Amino acid sequence: MLAGRKILLIITGGIAAFKAIDLMRMIKKAGGDVQPILTKSALEFVTPLTAGTVAGNPALSELFDLGREAEINHIELVRDADLIVVVPATGDFMAKMAHGFADDLASTAILARDKHVIVAPSMNVRMWEAAPTQRNFQTLVDDGMSFVGPDKGEMACGEFGLGRLAEPDVIFAAIKDYFFTFGENLPLKGKRVLVTSGATREPLDPVRFLTNASSGKQGTAIASALRAAGADVEFITGAADVPPPDGVNVTQITTAQDMYDAVHEALPCDVAIFCAAVSDWRPKAVGDKKIKKNGDGTAPSLEMVLNPDILHSVAQLEPDQRPQLVIGFAAETNDVVKHAEAKLVRKGCDWLLANDVSAGSGTFGGDHNSIIFFDGQGHQEWAQMSKAEVGQKLTNQITSYLKQPD
Ligand code: PMT
């Protein structure tokens, strides 16, 4: 998700400095590159060895490094980075940034910056609320920096209030959000993509419903890859076992009719992908009280009515309203190719991703999928891969398609 992104991480000297190490791990895990800079006081809390080992880059601290017999090129450090993050930012360092002091490597890098800066402050509540800190905060906001936290809570010094460092996962989310929102050269920047995901639920009575085993993993992985490629994603989801990806606009629905309404509300879009497992029918009558057993010992029978076909309804829209690409899925338990070919025509979509969902396939709820991809010209079998890789491959195909001249 952060592949190829370079983050200059400035760690200043606060009790919460150790949390910067957790943040580094998250950035590295997401494929990002971290260059740590530790201020002199940060060295009291974090060793350069720990920071450098976790980052995979030597932790820098001094403006002049005798070992290198040269001045560290702070300008190059900043030019090389895509984003600067200060975690934790002490009151002292905020003051330095606000007033343009440049007496160590960290403050010099800030003064020489040509990149966005995210600041996560951490200090005692009185220090945070102090007029000079609040003035510095306003100056830094006016200078274009963005802030994560501080949070309210108990402090290491025993006092309570605003000043705690935001949790590393929240700072990490802000970093990802920065790249989603401001990242340049993302292939799907400016494209609006709708993704349906998860399982619909059709109520029978207040305590029972008809559903299926979709976990939402495949739809979520697709939405996540599209978002990472810069698309604005409308994510319309039924019940799911996994949370929606970061940075997408989520609409939570219950029934197929809710999903139909939400999809049509979210139009227009450039691309629409229908990965949700939607119930084809629903009980004709929904009891407002729990359905009881029949008095004669027989089970009650259910009368069903058809749900609207969401994919079909979008694929049939007039050209001025229809997404440029309408992509369906086909969940089949047998004769996958034959059924999928017929489904592509019947639904009127442009592409169709068929997957085998027979017992033992592990497709529903699993982490892998084996796709047969139909584009109206023929079909290709994709090797079995993770659902994340399916999301990435589909995103690449969409990107190539949208790049083609009309
Ligand atoms: O969620 P996971 O556990 O990761 O599993 C992923 C998946 C198996 C659910 C997914 O890969 C998948 O196959 N999704 C489509 C499930 C489905 O409803 O297939 P279908 O063959 O019944 O429907 C065909 C297409 O029509 C689908 O795009 C479906 O979203 C759409 N549809 C179906 C019925 C309906 N009333 N409206 C629709 O839009």
pLDDT tens, residue by residue, 7-43: 999 999 989 999 999 999 999 999 899 999 999 999 9
What's the CATH number of domain 6-182, 3.40.50.170, 3.50.50.60, 3.40.50.1950, 3.40.50.620?
A: 3.40.50.1950
Task: Name the helix (H) or strand (E) containing 193.
Answer: strand 192-197
Active site residues: 157
- Distance in angstroms (rounded) separating the CA atoms of residues 66 and 69: 5
CB atoms within 10 A of CB 111: 15
Same CATH topology for 6-182 and 192-403? yes
DSSP string, 271-333: EEEE-SB--SEEESS--SSPPPPPTTSPPPP--EEEPP-HHHHHHTS-TTTS-SEEEEEEEES
Q: Which residues of 65-104 are buried (b: 16+ CB within 10 A; e: fewer)?
A: eeeeeeebebeebbeebbbbbbbbbbbbbbbbbbeeeeeb
Q: Identify which of 112, 52, 104, 51 has the alpha carbon closest to the alpha carbon of residue 76.
A: 112
The residue type found at 387 is: K
Helices (H) and strands (E) in the chain, counts: 13, 23
For residue 184, the model assigns a pLDDT of 60
Please report, rounded to a whole number, the percentage of residues in the chain having pLDDT higher than 90.
75
Pocket of ligand 1 (CB under 6 A): 196, 214-218, 256, 274-278, 280, 307, 309-311, 328-331, 343, 355, 357, 363-365, 387
Question: Where do the domains of the chain lie?
Answer: 6-182, 192-403
The distance between the two most distant Cα atoms of the chain, rounded to a whole number of Å, is: 94
Q: pLDDT band at 71, cuts 50/70/90?
A: low
Task: Examine the pLDDT at 153 and tell me if it is beyond 50.
Answer: yes
The pLDDT value given to residue 183: 63
Kindly report which listed range (263-267, 299-303, 376-380, 401-405) carries the lowest average pLDDT score: 401-405
Question: Does domain 192-403 bear CATH number 3.90.1150.10?
Answer: no
Of the chain, the end-to-end C-alpha distance in Å amounts to: 30
167 DSSP assignment: P
pLDDT (tens digit, 9 = 90+) per residue, 220-275? Answer: 999 988 987 889 999 999 999 999 987 899 999 999 999 999 999 999 999 999 99
Mutate to test the pocket of ligand 1, among 275, 326, 364, 372 (most ligand atoms within 8 A of CB): 275
- Minimum-distance ligand 1 atom for the alpha carbon of 355: 13
In sign, the C-alpha dihedral spanning 341, 342, 343, 346 is positive
